[in-house]
Structure formats: C-alpha cells, structure tokens
C-alpha cells in the first residue's frame, strides 16, 4: 500500500477544554434550583425567622390584650384568625409565638448540640474508658421514650421557658453524641488524619482543626431536622401544661386553650396555631432533607 501525501493533524488537537471551575455559592444555588422542596423549606424557615424578629413590631394588636367583648370571635376581616376566649387576636399571637418558640428551639438544639458533640468527640477520639463510660450513659438516657422523659424532666423542674429548653435539650443529647462518635471514629482512620499526625500535629490541634471540621456536615443536617422535632416536643409539653403556661403566646399553649373550647365548636382557636407548628416543622424538615441531598456528594445533581 503506497503511502499518500497526508495532511496530518497533530495529535492532541481537538481535545475539549477542561470544564470551568464553579464557585461554591453559585453551585449551591444550582443545587437549590433542582430541588424545589428544599427551596420551599428554606423559604419557610426564612419566613418563620422573619416573623420571630419582626412580628412583635408589626403586630396590629397587643397579643395579651384581653377583650372579653370580643371573646371567641371567628375569623373576620378585623381578626383574620379569629380571637380566643379572652378576646386576644390569634393572628397576632401566632406570629408573636414564633419568637418564643424559635428562641426555645434554637436554645435547646444549640445546647444539646454543644454538649452532645463534645461528648461524642471525646468518646470517639480518646476511646477506651471515655468511650465506654460516655456511651453507657447515653444508653441510659436513650432507654426512655423521648417524650415521656421530657415530660418527667419538665415536671420535675416546674413549668417555664427554661424547663422546656432543658427538657427538650436533654433528650437530644444522645443523638448528637452517637453521631459525633461514629463520625469521629471513621474520620480518625482516614489517610489525611494519619498524615496530619505524621507531620507532627499535637492531639488537640488534630482534633480541633482537622477532624472536627470534617464532621460538620452531618451535624448541620441533624441540627436542622432536630429543630423541627424540638418544636413538636416543646409545643407538646406546653400543651400538657408542663412547659410554657397560659396565657403566654406559645403555639402549644394556644392549642390547649383551643381544646378547652372544643365542644363549642371554636375551631379557629386551635387550628391556626397548629398550622403554624406544622408549617414551621415542615420547613425545617424539607430544609434538612434537602441539605442532606446537597451536602452528600453521592446524591447531588450532576
């Protein structure tokens, strides 16, 4: 076969260029756009936070203004959510309650996160005695059904905001401790951890600067979801009368007040606060699930 005159193209030409590096924020927005549920969750949480911050300022009525002449009035233009037995405007109270509930929940979740993560990190990192001791204590805490334990703690401490925070935080601690411990155990054995030790990092530096940041993601996801559950538990405690008491503007309390008037058919007294709870918890759940999808590399949008 004769060799023809060729117009050779140099090898390597025509290769496609490397894809551009995508910024982290724009990537986050891209993920959000593909996941409308997560976006909805984020939106809801923002609404709740805004209500909490701005609600009392923008409210038309005083949430504690008793007006017996307007007792148990159904939804109307003047009172879109109606009034309760004391004549207090429910819409105002629902919005104001956001502040109290959010405060309690964030405090409880924050406290349990700090304590639980610390316990789990110590158990996982130092092992042996610490691990055994800490995990046994968590076993005992987890032996009780969650809400029952919260009830017992709340009852022992007497009603009040602090009680709700302490009771709901107490039942959350084991969850964080276990998660942190297993994260710590797996991250301790990774290549980069061994490398950090080989390079000469002290134990504390290793723990603080190298290992903990890598455990951050699941903790964030857990915290978001825990916010939702804690709202339910805090409201539940207040509903029973073990938490925040009547006539505070708190969603659970308002539902309890609605229960009192149930047989008179004043459905609006408990319906709207309940909707607020469901709405808030829904937001946190959607956001938490979505964060899990976004932050777990295996489940991302490609």
Partner 1 sequence: MALLEVSDLRTSFFLRSGELRVLDGVSLEIEAGEVLGLVGETGSGKSVTAYSITRLLKQPGRVVGGEVKWDGRDLVRLWESELEQEIRGKEISMIFQSPREALNPVITVGRQLTQVLRIRRGMDRREARAEAIRILKSVYISDPESRLDSYPHELSGGMAQRIMIALALSCEPRLLIADEPTTGLDVTTQHQIVLLLRELRDRTGMAILLITHDLALAAQLCDRVAVLYAGRIAEMGPIGHLFRSPRHPYTAALLASRPRLGLQGDILTIPGNVANLMRPPGGCRFHPRCPNATQVCAQQQPPLEPMDPGQRVACHNPMPQRQELAASG
Partner 2 sequence: MGSTRLLLYAARRILLIVPVLLVALFLTFALTRIVPGNPVDRVAGPYISLERRAELKHIAYLDRPFYEQFALYLRDLSQGKMGTSYTTAQDVSKDLRQRFPATFELVTYAMLFAVAVALPLGIAAAIKKDSWIDSIARAVSVLGVSMPIFWLGLMLLYVFFYFLGWLPGPVGRTGSAIRFAEPITGFLTIDALLNGDFDLFLKAVQALILPCFTLGFVAMAPIARMTRAVMAEALQSDYVRTARSLGLPFRVVVLRHALKNALIPILTITAAVYGYALGGEVLVEIIFAWPGLGQYSYNALLSSDFPAIQGFVLLVTFVYMVIYLALDIATAALDPRVKY
The answer to whether residue 26 forms part of the interface with partner 1 (CB under 8 A) is no
| Span interacting with partner 2, options 13-21, 68-76, 183-191, 277-285, rule CB under 8 A | 277-285
- What is the torsional sign of CA 248, 249, 253, 254? positive
The answer to whether residue 15 forms part of the interface with partner 1 (CB under 8 A) is yes
Coil, helix or strand at residue 89: strand
Q: Which is nearer to partner 1, 5 or 198 (CB)?
A: 5
- Could you tell which of partner 2, partner 1, none binds residue 16, using a CB distance below 5 to 8 A set by kind? partner 1
Cα-only R_g, the chain:
26
**Any idea which residue has 């999808």 for tokens?**
293
- Could you tell which of partner 2, partner 1, none binds residue 8, using a CB distance below 5 to 8 A set by kind? partner 1
d(CA 248, CA 151): 19
Give residues with Cβ within 8 angstroms of 228, minimum separation 6.
280, 281, 282, 283, 284, 285, 288
Residue from the set 46, 58, 156, 194 that interacts with partner 2 by CB under 8 A? 156
Q: State the minimum distance, in angstroms, from the CB of residue 224 to partner 1.
A: 24
The answer to whether residue 243 forms part of the interface with partner 2 (CB under 8 A) is no
- Site size toward partner 2, by CB under 8 A: 45
- Could you tell which of partner 2, partner 1, none binds residue 144, using a CB distance below 5 to 8 A set by kind? partner 2
Residue-by-residue DSSP string for 186-254? HHHTSHHHHHHHHHT--HHHIIIIIIHHHTHHHHHHHHHHHHHHHHHHHHHHHHHTSSS-TTS--HHHH
Q: What are phi and psi of 65, to 5 degrees?
A: -80, 105
159 contacts 243 by C-beta, under 8 angstroms: yes
Residue from the set 8, 57, 77, 198 that interacts with partner 1 by CB under 8 A? 8
The answer to whether residue 7 forms part of the interface with partner 1 (CB under 8 A) is yes
Give residues with Cβ within 8 angstroms of 26, minimum separation 6.
none
- Distance in Å from the first CA to the final CA of the chain: 48
The answer to whether residue 301 forms part of the interface with partner 1 (CB under 8 A) is yes
Picking from 50, 168, 157, the residue whose alpha carbon sits closest to that of residue 108 is 168
Q: Which two tokens stand for residue 224?
A: 């978001």
| Span interacting with partner 1, options 11-19, 119-127, 261-269, 280-288, rule CB under 8 A | 11-19
Q: State the minimum distance, in angstroms, from the CB of residue 250 to partner 2.
A: 12
Q: State the minimum distance, in angstroms, from the CB of residue 15 to partner 1.
A: 5
- Site size toward partner 1, by CB under 8 A: 14
Q: State the minimum distance, in angstroms, from the CB of residue 3 to partner 1.
A: 8
- Left, alpha or beta for 280 (phi > 0: left; psi -120 to 50: alpha)? alpha
**Any idea which residue has 């316990």 for tokens?**
119
Q: Which is nearer to partner 1, 8 or 68 (CB)?
A: 8
The answer to whether residue 23 forms part of the interface with partner 1 (CB under 8 A) is no
Q: State the minimum distance, in angstroms, from the CB of residue 189 to partner 1.
A: 21
The answer to whether residue 145 forms part of the interface with partner 1 (CB under 8 A) is no
Binding site for partner 2 (CB under 8 A): 37, 139-140, 143-153, 155-158, 228, 232, 235-236, 239-242, 252, 255, 258-259, 262-263, 265, 267, 270-271, 273-274, 277-278, 281-282, 285-286, 289
Binding site for partner 1 (CB under 8 A): 1, 6-9, 11-16, 34, 301-302
């Amino acid at each position: 076969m004769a060799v023809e005159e060729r117009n050779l193209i140099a090898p390597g030409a025509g290769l496609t260029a490397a894809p551009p590096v995508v910024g982290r924020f724009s990537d986050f927005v891209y993920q959000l756009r593909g996941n409308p549920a997560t976006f909805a969750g984020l939106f809801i949480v923002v609404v709740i936070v805004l209500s909490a911050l701005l609600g009392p300022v923008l409210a038309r009525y005083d949430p504690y203004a008793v007006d017996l002449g307007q007792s148990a009035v159904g939804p109307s233009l003047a009172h879109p959510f109606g009034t309760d037995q004391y004549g207090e405007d429910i819409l105002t109270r629902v919005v104001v309650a956001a502040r109290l509930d959010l405060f309690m929940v964030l405090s409880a979740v924050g406290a349990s996160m700090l304590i639980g993560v610390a316990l789990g990190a110590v158990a996982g990192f130092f092992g042996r005695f610490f691990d055994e001791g800490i995990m046994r204590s968590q076993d005992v805490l987890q032996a009780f059904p969650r809400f029952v334990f919260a009830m017992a703690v709340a009852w022992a401490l007497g009603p009040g905001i602090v009680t709700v925070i302490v009771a709901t935080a107490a039942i959350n601690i084991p969850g964080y401790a276990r998660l942190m411990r297993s994260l710590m155990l797996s991250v301790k054995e990774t290549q980069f951890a061994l490398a950090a030790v080989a390079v000469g990092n002290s134990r504390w530096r290793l723990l603080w600067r190298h290992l903990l940041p890598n455990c951050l993601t699941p903790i964030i996801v857990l915290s978001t979801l825990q916010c939702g559950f804690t709202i339910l538990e805090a409201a539940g405690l207040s509903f029973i009368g073990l938490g925040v008491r009547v006539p505070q503007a708190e969603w659970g309390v308002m539902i309890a007040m609605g229960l009192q008037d149930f047989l008179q058919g004043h459905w609006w007294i408990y319906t709207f606060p309940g909707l607020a709870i469901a709405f808030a918890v829904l937001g946190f759940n959607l956001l938490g699930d979505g964060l899990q999808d976004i932050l777990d590399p295996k489940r991302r949008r490609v």
